[in-house]
Amino acid sequence: MAWYKDGTKLEKIDDANFDKIWKPGETPPDNGIYECQGCGDEIASNKGVKLPTQNHSQHSPAEGEIRWKMIVCCENR
């Protein structure tokens, strides 16, 4: 779970990019914080940079495959 201190710096939006599940090594179009849907680890990823591959951490069979989902999108101006 991502944490924050100053809620005035965050805005809730309903955007389809938050629903997309990314595979290891894919390149998402947004800067942001991505959460592994299997183990819950979070990483920061920059636009145009591939998401971590299978070696980000070892998953148990119950956690399944590594699948990344954006939980925070960073605005660029």
The domains of the chain are located at: 17-73
pLDDT at 34: 96
pLDDT at 50: 94
Global pTM reads: 0.88
Rounded Cα gap, residues 70 and 73, in angstroms: 7
Contact 74, 58 (CB under 8 A): no
Cα dist from 32 to 12, 23, 36, 59, whole Å: 14, 16, 13, 23
Contact 74, 32 (CB under 8 A): yes
Contact 70, 15 (CB under 8 A): no
Condensed to tens digits (0 to 9), the pLDDT of residues 14-73 reads 999 999 999 999 999 999 999 999 999 999 999 999 998 766 677 888 999 899 999 999
Contact 66, 24 (CB under 8 A): yes
